[in-house]
Amino acid sequence: MTIPKSSSSPFSFALLALIISGEAIFILPFVLARVFRPTVLEVFDLSNLELGFIFSVYGIVAFFAYVLGGPLADKYNARMLIVIALISTSIGGLFLASIPSYTGMKFLFGFWGMTTILLFWAALIRATRELGGEKFQGIAFGFLDGGRGLVSALIGTMTVVVFAYFLPLDIELSTSSERTYALQRVIYFMVVFIVVVSITVFYLLPSKQSKAKTSSELFLFTNFHNYSDSQLSGFKQLL
């Protein structure tokens, strides 16, 4: 007798949605500048020092947002907070695509400090904790952090492909306007990606988190369902 795969699907898909959202929320504030730093400095007419000040605004806002985010996540539904944070962050991306001034960038990153930390981070932690239940929180958080790294690498690769697609074959011969156009297309791609992730979270993450009560409910990513009853019993005794 084997454990049916269907019993673990809701938990695994919900965890997958959290993993993707946990990285998607940060691609506009951080991945864009990290992957396309020289182009970002050129297009937005910034120096490295000015970009550092912009990130400092984000950090200051985020510092206070961490303090307030916990009580907010305790009071309101985690799924809705995550969805609102993703949508709000994507709206900021539309403003970024308009190539704002240095002052506008500081306001934008302060806004993102609110959406990514105040609305999102504590809600993500709460949702992951509740999804893992009492016995599997460590595994859930392990998948979350490890999965976020993988998602970051995939998103970085996709954005480079998008950027290259909108540039001439010989990138070194591209003009400033062509690089601006290509970077805007990358930003729009990120905005659409975040919106799609928000929809995915809304449908895959339960409104009221139900805890994983058995190991098989959390391990769709393994071959746990192929283990024999005796192996499962021995594993549960170790727990």
* pLDDT for position 230: 45
Report the predicted TM-score, pTM, of the whole model to 2 decimal places. Answer: 0.82
* pLDDT for position 99: 96
* pLDDT for position 118: 95
The 10 Å Cβ neighbour count of residue 96 is 25
Tokens of 103: 């002052």
Q: How many helices (H) and strands (E) in the chain?
A: 10, 0
Going from the C-alpha of 228 to that of each of 3, 197, 212, 221, the distances in angstroms are: 9, 36, 20, 17
Tokens of 111: 């806004």
Pairwise CA distance, residues 183 & 35, whole Å: 11
CATH topology of domain 18-208: Growth Hormone; Chain: A; (1.20.1250)
Going from the C-alpha of 23 to that of each of 93, 115, 148, 194, the distances in angstroms are: 15, 14, 5, 10
* pLDDT for position 131: 85
The 10 Å Cβ neighbour count of residue 147 is 18
* pLDDT for position 209: 52
Pairwise CA distance, residues 114 & 156, whole Å: 24
* pLDDT for position 59: 96
Cβ atoms of 190 and 27 closer than 8 Å:
yes
Sequence-separated (6 or more) residues with CB below 8 Å from residue 97: 184, 187, 188, 191
Tens digits of pLDDT across the chain (239 residues):
333 343 455 778 889 999 999 999 999 999 999 999 999 999 999 999 999 999 999 999 999 999 999 999 999 999 999 999 999 999 999 999 999 999 999 999 999 999 999 999 999 999 998 888 777 788 888 899 888 989 999 999 999 999 999 988 777 778 889 999 999 999 999 999 999 999 999 999 887 654 444 444 444 444 434 434 444 344 344 33
User: Quick one: CA dihedral 167, 168, 173, 177, positive or negative?
Assistant: negative
The 10 Å Cβ neighbour count of residue 148 is 19
